Structure 1
Amino acid sequence: MANVEDVTQRIQISATLPAAYKGLVALHDTIEKAAADAGLDQSLFELVKIRASQLNGCAFCLDMHSRDALKLGETAQRVVMVATWWETELYTEKERAAFALTDAVTKLSEHQEVPDQVYEQATAVFTEEQYSAVIWAIAVINAFNRLGVTSKKLLPKEPW
């Protein structure tokens, strides 16, 4: 693995087409509001963002959403253990359903579907509005991840 200093500097896509980036941010904000209106906790969404960012290898987003989750009161243990969520009892039934959806949707290229079992698990614990908000949140974080990875967006300098 190359040192950060050795990595080719990339065009920062969000800066070169700011109107599109602002539109994606606006979509994100719309989904977060819909989720809150549907009774979903902001912490669940940060955990979903962490999981998708892990799967996509987006260090910038992983750093940002881990920080955000900690600010919301998540424990360091729960943030770190998202990587192996299925092996622990640290997460609620809703969180586990959201993680399973995140894994399935983020890995669509591997399986070309969201398995019925994952769908049924999610719709058993989420209302239709909540389920839709989770799917939209997964889609949007995947879009942000693709921008971050493609741009090789650097981490902030300040430590946690």
Structure 2
Amino acid sequence: MTTTDYVPIAQRLDFDALVPGFARAVNDLDEAATAEADRAGIDPALRELLRLRASQLNGCSYCVDMHSRAARKKGTAAQRVDAIAIWRDSNLFTADERAALEFTEQVTLVASSRVPEDCVQAVVKAYGEEGAAALLSLVVAINTWNTIGVTARCWPVAVRTRD
């Protein structure tokens, strides 16, 4: 298959050029969430898996591509990256990772989930209050990026023959 076989997806808005101040602010939000995750000791590879899962739920092709590659670069086995969409049915994730994945899904789907109490308590038990707050920051940031990416289609996925 050649790159000419791929269907081009048209950009809707050049978000970064149209609202550069806001784009920088979102980047700052993401950097702050990453810093809080670092401070709370949240594993960088897990962070990428959580970003990937939220991006899958939101349907952001750019972020799915970016965070699946980033997870592998952080040392996550390809098998775990591939299984993230079906994590509930996979034996490749620890109990703490499952709590973080459930939390990520519930926060991402907040309009319908209302983020149940038991979900919050499970992530607090696994990561402590500081870790839970850092994870919430991380999920809020990726959902912000996903909202922009899905709506504006401003960042096309680069076609690669290998990573």
The TM-score normalised by the length of structure 1 is 0.91
Residues 24-39 of structure 1: pairs in structure 2 closer than 5 A: 24-39=26-41
The aligned length equals 156
Offset of 1:158 from its aligned partner? 2.7
Instruction: Write the mapping of 1:61-72 to structure 2, written as runs, cut at 5 A.
Output: 61-72=63-74
1:82 matched to which residue of 2?
Answer: 84
Instruction: Quote the offset at 1:71 in angstroms.
Output: 0.6
Q: Flag structure 2 segments of 5+ consecutive residues without an equivalent.
A: 1-5
Matched with 1:138 is 139
Does residue 53 in structure 1 map to residue 55 in structure 2?
Answer: yes
Give 1:94 shift.
Answer: 2.0
Instruction: Look up the equivalent residue of 2:63 and give its one-letter code.
Output: C
Kindly report structure 1 stretches of 4+ aligned residues shifted beyond 6 Å: none
Structure 2 contact 11–156 (Cα < 8 Å) conserved? no
The amino acid across from 1:151 in the alignment is: A
Q: What percentage of residue pairs aligned between the two structures are identical?
A: 36
Cα deviation for residue 20 of structure 1 reads 0.9
Per-residue displacement from partner, 1:9-68 (whole Å, max 9, x unpaired)? 311212321111111111111111121111111111101100000000001000000111
Offset at residue 8 of structure 1 (A):
4.2
Q: Secondary structure at the match of 2:81?
A: helix
Question: Aligned AA for 2:60?
Answer: C
**Structure 1 residue ranges without an equivalent (≥5):** none
For the residues of structure 2 that align with 1:9 and 1:29, how far apart are their CA atoms?
25
Alpha-carbon distance between aligned partners in 2 of 1:15 and 1:44, rounded to the nearest angstrom: 31
**Is the Cα contact below 8 Å between 1:53 and 1:141 reproduced in 2?**
yes
